[in-house]
Amino acid sequence: MKILILGDVMGRSGRLAVKKNLNKIIKENNIDFTVLNGENSADDGKGITNLIAEEFFQEGVDVITSGNHIWDKKETVEFIDKEQRLLRPENFAQGTPGNGHGIYLSKNDKKIGVINLMGNVFMKKTDDVFEIAKKMKNKIVLRKNVDFLIIDFHGEITSEKMAIGHFFDGVSTAIVGTHTHVPTADTRILENGTAYQTDIGMCGDYNSVIGMNKDNSLKKFLKDKNATNHFPAEGEGTLSGIIVDANDETGLAKKVTRILLGGNLIN
Ligand code: FE2
């Protein structure tokens, strides 16, 4: 079983990197299931539209995860309940539109669970992520309800991400961090068999400040009165994520490979 997980797609550059490379990666690597984080994929880097979500699905994405920017586009509240393949974090308050997890069928007819969580440290207020993680651990069980389980933990700090990684080690196929827009070099299989990377980075233009125009971003930091609202950098994007090769019997990872394709980052 081959699973592709891509980090935060940022604006037009990120979408173009996906459009240009996704089909090829899926074919060349025999990918059975693809997840990406789409919460920054709108033109201005804030939120996601129905049309963009549709484009991702047509390009081969199976599930889109998100985080703090999920409600940046008003229309998302309206279509998220109908679109089961778009997730918002599970630990948003009860009654929030949409779902934080789902069980899907892969191209090769396997049951794949996907859970989206959001960190508590330096993030918008949400329910305690470790409490919700405990509930989800009992609810979606490998080899019982699902064949494979993928978790996107959208968070700011490395310690919280690493802790949640160990919490799901051995009971999920892969757990990845998103949100910081910078890939970490700790791609590995944890000791009980779960593929892990603290942050799988951004699909977007790295000649920027986490995807935003660097000149304007610097002006903001320097308190220059000519600074405007942040807007995305639009140079060539890098595609950033991991491919997990998982064992069909156990649902655990056999191999994990980091991918960095195009743009400014060197693989
Ligand atoms: Fe985010």
> Cα(96) to centroid of ligand 1, in Å?
18
> Cα(181) to centroid of ligand 1, in Å?
8
pLDDT of residue 172: 98
> Cα(31) to centroid of ligand 1, in Å?
26
> Cα(170) to centroid of ligand 1, in Å?
26
Phi, psi of 202, rounded to the nearest 5 degrees: -110, 145
First to last CA, the chain: 24
pTM for the whole structure: 0.97
For residue 186, the number of C-alpha atoms closer than 13 Å in the C-beta half-sphere is 15
> Cα(247) to centroid of ligand 1, in Å?
31
For residue 55, the number of C-alpha atoms closer than 13 Å in the C-beta half-sphere is 16
> Cα(108) to centroid of ligand 1, in Å?
31
Q: What is the pLDDT along the chain (267 residues), one digit of tens a residue?
A: 999 999 999 999 999 999 999 999 999 999 999 999 999 999 999 999 999 999 999 999 999 999 999 999 999 999 999 999 999 999 999 999 999 999 999 989 999 999 999 999 999 999 999 999 999 999 999 999 999 999 999 999 999 999 999 999 999 999 999 999 999 999 999 999 999 999 999 999 999 999 999 999 999 999 999 999 999 999 999 999 999 999 999 999 999 999 999 999 976
Tokens representing residue 51 in the block: 């049309």
Can you name the residues that pair with 200 across neighbouring β-strands? 183
Q: How far apart are CA 172 and CA 158, in angstroms?
A: 19
> Cα(154) to centroid of ligand 1, in Å?
6
pLDDT of residue 266: 78
Can you name the residues that pair with 83 across neighbouring β-strands? none
DSSP string, the chain: -EEEEE-EE-HHHHHHHHHHHHHHHHHHHT--EEEEE-TT-STTSSS--HHHHHHHHHHT--EEE--TTTTSSTHHHHHTTT-TTBB--TTSPTT-SSBSEEEEE-TTS-EEEEEEEE-STTS---S-HHHHHHHHHHHS-BTTTBSEEEEEEE-S-HHHHHHHHHHTTTTSSEEEEESSSSB-S--EE-TTS-EEES-B-EEB-SSSBTTB-HHHHHHHHTT-TT--S--B--SPPBEEEEEEEE-TTT--EEEEEEEEESTT---
pLDDT of residue 79: 96
> Cα(69) to centroid of ligand 1, in Å?
6
pLDDT of residue 267: 67
Q: Which of 69, 101, 179, 181 is catalytic?
A: 69
Q: Please confirm, yes or no, whether 166 is among the known catalytic residues.
A: no
> Cα(143) to centroid of ligand 1, in Å?
31
pLDDT of residue 20: 97
